[in-house]
Amino acid sequence: MINFFSKNKFIFYLSNLILIFLYLFPGSVLGWFLYKDLSLQPQITPDFIVSTNHFYAFLIISIIGLLTFNLSNQFIYISFYLTFLSLALEIIHYFIPERSFEFSDLFGNLLGVFIVLVLFYFFKKNENSKT
């Protein structure tokens, strides 16, 4: 029970709630906060093949998730959760007004998750080979 309320898990759960709220809100909360316009989305860096905003968001949430649940048996579960979350949130954009499904956003989500999963997998493998 104490592990459930640990600081890292709280940060992961809170960051998930913030991500889901920002992702599913019809319009841009950050655009309203920064520009006083719900239709403007702040752009961190220019998009290339993937949406960089989505890439950064899922990169950060994946790092937090994998640092929080770093046990070997939890690695598989958090991997599936992060992949499912990245797919589900983008697919739900079909049904939200002022939002739209875009493949560049979906690929940004999945790339952010995939890069962190691969890095953590190799760090874990390297860590296990040393012991």
Q: Would you state the pLDDT for residue 23?
A: 86
- Alpha carbon distances (Å) from 107 to 1, 30, 50, 55, 100: 36, 22, 6, 8, 14
Report how far residue 35's alpha carbon sits from residue 50's, in angstroms, rounded to the nearest whole number.
24
Mean pLDDT score of the chain, rounded to an integer? 83
What residue spans of the chain are helical by DSSP H? 7-24, 29-35, 52-68, 72-92, 103-130
Instruction: Write the pLDDT tens digit of every residue in 16-72.
Output: 999 999 888 877 777 777 777 777 777 777 777 888 889 999 999 999 888 888 766
Structural domain boundaries, residue 122: 3-130
Number of domains in the chain: 1
Residue 67: half-sphere exposure toward Cβ, Cα within 13 Å: 13
**Stated pTM of the model:** 0.84
Estimate to the nearest angstrom the gap between the alpha carbon of 108 and the chain centroid. Answer: 10
Residues 128, 56 contacting (CB under 8 angstroms): no
Instruction: Write the pLDDT tens digit of every residue in 68-123.
Output: 887 667 888 999 999 999 999 999 988 888 788 889 899 999 999 999 999 988 88
